[in-house]
Amino acid sequence: MSSIENTASNPSSSVFALFSPKLLPATLMLGGGVTLYAVESYITATIAPSIVRDIGGLELFAWMTTLFVAAGVLGSITVATRPKGMGLRAVYVAAAITFGVGSLICAVAPLMPVLLVGRAVQGYGAGMLSGLAYAFIRFVYPEVLWRKASTLYAAIWGVATVLGPTLGGLFAAGGAWREAFIVLVPLTVIMALSARWLLPAVADDRSDTRTPLIQIGLLLAAVLFVNIASTVEHGSYTVLLIAASIVLVATMVAIERKSDTRLLPYGAAMLGNPISRLYLTMFMAMMVLTSDIYIPYFLQTLHDVTPLVSGYLVALVALGWTVAALLSASFSGKQAAIAIIAGCILETAATASLIPVLATATPFDAVARFAPAVVAMFLMGFGVGLGWAHLVTKVIGITRRTEQDKASAAISMTQSLGGAFGAALAGVIANGAGLTHPGGIAGGLSAATWLYALMAIPGLIAIVLSFTIRPASA
């Protein structure tokens, strides 16, 4: 097995060691893949109105995101279920080319259905690139840097929350939404061509390469249902779709427990196993964090904050994630375990604190009035960032070597699923609490109160789970 790890002697434990001459090429390639996935998610959300105005298809508006997310989950699964003997480097090349092809289809799409095909192809490639970043960690970096690499990937998602909408706004302002896709094509070509020289060739050490088609089908259906649930207007349909999603996921977990052909690493479907609790903690943390999607609405409707300012205020969530990830990068052992617990507590407390902060009709016309909101939003992201890299490192560290590709792919999958279910649940709560009926100030006050009260519950579950994570597995 060829690995950059073998060439790195006495590596520094600093995050800057990822950018040392020997590791820089691989860091750029893997970090670049995560960046494409993260930034593109936010760019397209920003330019979507421009796309609809140009080529129509308003009735299919939500599917631009739905197909991208669902295909991304399938892409991350592909990293672990690829054909036997296919190395990770070959998967990277295929992923970069797939993402580029999808971007090209989007750029030339004359109608919305064609663009949706491109978004699905894009999402599939992006999902593979994101999953590969975690799959390559153990081959590219010495173990002392695994946590630092995970920190870097977490920080990229935080930065993308600000960078993506900014870039998307620039393209949308000039009516150049096609250019937002076309600029990605040469970049992906460069990435595909560079992979042979900048990424190590590693042996395929998986013991089981059979494809769990039933579990994949159930999971994809659940993702589609929950994404559709976040877009439908009738509350009863939304509840039914989410309930169906939960049933599908439960069925998938039940099959995982008994099947010899698994989608997840051994033990991930059994709550008594530590790796199951690690994934579940990640899932709950992402669910809670996704409740921030309604913050701009509450800021604008209840507190007279301009759209531009509200956008930058919500970016504090991403800033908090990035700052915490960098601050906790050097933690290990008991420190890492404490960081996970403290992170879950901070995120949950910050979410609940948004009730008195946002559920008022007071204009934020002075620093003293919006300062509590600033602190709460920052701490939401800070809590997740404080423990995320340590959860990732623990997953990779306790998984059997022959199943580490599955474990790595499941990290990206868990992140996407948590976001999808969180967005759908937030929509159900907000709409059920009166966001649209009666709407206005009264509806906003009720929705803000119920949303952040109920979305703190998954955070409480994450806190309980975090106390079961043993420092010895760090």
Packing angle between helix 112-140 and helix 63-81, nearest 10 degrees?
Answer: 40
Quote the tokens at residue 341: 């617990």
* 97-106, 232-241, 304-313, 405-414: which is most confident: 97-106
- 275-332 pLDDT, tens digit per residue, is 999 999 999 999 999 888 888 888 888 998 886 677 677 778 888 988 998 888 888 8
What pLDDT was estimated at residue 158? Answer: 72
- Please give the share of the chain, as a percent, with pLDDT higher than 70: 94
pLDDT reading at 18 higher than 80: yes
The listed CATH number (1.20.1250.20, 3.40.50.300, 1.10.490.10, 2.40.30.10) that belongs to domain 265-474: 1.20.1250.20
pLDDT reading at 128 higher than 50: yes
What pLDDT was estimated at residue 247? Answer: 95
Per the prediction, the chain carries an average pLDDT of: 86
pLDDT confidence tier of residue 159, bands split at 50, 70 and 90 = confident
pLDDT reading at 260 higher than 60: yes
Provide the residue type at 200 as one letter: P
- Give the span between the Cα atoms of 169 and 176, in whole angstroms: 10
Quote the tokens at residue 139: 């081959």
pLDDT reading at 169 higher than 90: no
Residue 141 makes CB contacts below 8 A (sequence gap 6+) with 4, 5, 8, 11, 18, 23, 26, 148, 149
The model's pTM: 0.82
- 26-80 pLDDT, tens digit per residue, is 999 999 898 888 888 778 877 887 898 899 988 787 788 878 888 888 998 898 8
- Look at 53 and 154; give whichever has higher pLDDT: 53
What pLDDT was estimated at residue 5? Answer: 41
- Give the span between the Cα atoms of 293 and 290, in whole angstroms: 6
What pLDDT was estimated at residue 233? Answer: 66
Quote the tokens at residue 20: 């040392």
- 341-361 pLDDT, tens digit per residue, is 999 999 999 999 999 999 998
According to CATH, what is the number of the domain 16-209?
1.20.1250.20
Quote the tokens at residue 348: 């949950």
Cβ distance 420 to 279 under 8 Å? no
pLDDT reading at 150 higher than 90: no
Once rounded to an integer, what is the mean pLDDT over residues 185-192?
94
Cβ distance 385 to 158 under 8 Å? yes
Q: Taking Cα atoms as reference points, which of 444, 383, 387, 416 lies closest to residue 151?
A: 387
pLDDT reading at 124 higher than 90: yes
Provide the residue type at 267 as one letter: G
- Give the span between the Cα atoms of 425 and 187, in whole angstroms: 36
- Give the span between the Cα atoms of 11 and 194, in whole angstroms: 25
